Amino acid sequence: MRGSCFVAPPLLKPWCCCLVLFLSPFAAAQSIHAEAYRNELISLAKEQKEWLVSVRRQIHENPELRFEEHNTSALIRRELDALGIRYAYPVAKTGVVAEIGSGSPPVVALRADMDALPLQVSRHSFFIPFSSYNKKKHKSKIDGKMHGCGHDAHTTMLLGAAKLLNQRKHLLKGTVRLLFQPAEEGGAGALHMIQEGALGDAGAIFGMHIDCETPTGMINSLPGSILAAVSFFEVKIDGKGGHAADPHTNIDPIVATSFTILALQQLISREADPLGSQVLSVTYVRGGEALNVIPPYVVFGGTLRSLSTEGLHRLQTRLKEVVEGQARVHRCKAHIDMKYEDYPPYPAVVNDERLNEHVQRVGKLLLGAENVKIGKKVLAGEDFAFYQELIPGVMLSIGIRNEQLGSVHSPHSPHFFLDEDVLPIGAALHTALAETYLDGRSSCMQ
């Protein structure tokens, strides 16, 4: 139950009220009666639990890879149609952008990714203990594909927020844009969404990702760089193959590759700032099959990661210099593919400080202070960073860890399993972040 606008304390100067109004749960408590607001929103979200679980399981059982999310997109559109929510489709091939509210500023965006992973689900996973699904297995029906990163939950929670926001649209002090995004897993779907106008006039954006290390019902967030800038590479070292008994008549690409890989490791140990959090990992080497033949070439590849986008650019430059230099020393030729077409490099995810305060305070208002923690930095990548290059944003994590259910496995694992109790929590949190942001921004514009 909400009142009108946030009211700034009289001692605040006009120029600073915009920074405080939408960030302060104490101001929120004065205007929307925090206890009643929390109880009402949580109650409405819990009423959706059965529907949320049904939606999530439909998506989970029918996983689709990047830019192939046709059935997932169709499900989203059916649900939006049923709710009477206007949307644009297609955006970035399979994406959907919905809009709730006045259609006028202020505008806030909420984002969820839709794509699955090219993983084979473990046949021993996904036993659902809930009473209505007792002794029923629930897993991907598509061989070689699974939602092993929680994107099915992300999409479902945003649909849940759409339903809540639509129920309460008469209370919105502006506009909420809901971004159902394809191709987070390596396809830079966020960049494609931006290029096709998905952000519109949004002044801020929030995203959520499940966290298997945090108990269900808790959230984490952190200001500043929290996720890495990421890129990939593949190198081919060309030599001259021949019989291993006559190494002097050959140009050995295996020796050249060995020196090259060792030299690359020194980019981190000898050139990178130890406080800069960078990684260069060679993850595969392929070359030759016979025991007595030196192959004509060797191929290897891997990933570069840095908690700053600038750090990634330096690594990319030095990788090329080291590979080409080592190849020349060993009389070989190097061919470097940075895989930009298949795997566009992602910038670092950098959370806006003031919006992070908003997340922390709204989280405490909705979930209780004991369920809101300071997050930690991780060298995984997320294309949410593309949105943050244009407008302030926060990527937060929401816990799914439940040892009794077996919801303990990390993302990108064939054993990954989700505690579905997170679904109404995430839907309510999305809703509260958007509503309270718009309340504050609306007050600033008056």
Annotated binding site for Mn(2+): 149, 151, 185, 209, 412
The dihedral over CA atoms of 61, 67, 70, 71, expressed in degrees to the nearest 10, equals: 10
Say which amino acid occupies 99.
E
Helices 34-47/49-61 angle, 10° precision: 50
Is residue 259 within 8 Å of 199, Cβ to Cβ? no
d(CA 391, CA 181) in angstroms, rounded, equals 17
Give the torsion through C-alpha atoms of 53, 59, 62, 65, to 10 deg. Answer: -150
Annotated binding-site residues read 149, 151, 185, 209, 412
- Taking CA atoms, 119 is separated from 22, 140, 201, 406, 416, in Å, by 41, 10, 37, 19, 11
Closest CA to 34 of 277, 426, 361: 361
* N-to-C CA span, the chain: 22
- Residue 56 and residue 417: Cα distance in Å, rounded? 12
Alpha carbons 38 and 173: distance in angstroms, whole number: 18
Helices (H), 307-421: 309-329, 353-367, 385-388
Conformational region of residue 150, where left means phi above 0, alpha means psi within -120 to 50, and beta covers everything else: left
Rounded to whole angstroms, the Cα distance separating 45 from 49 reads 7
What is the SS3 assignment for 119-150?
A: CCCCCCCCEECCHHHCCEECCCCCCCCECCCC
3-state secondary structure of 336: strand
Burial class (CB in 10 A: 0-12, 13-18, 19+), 414: middle
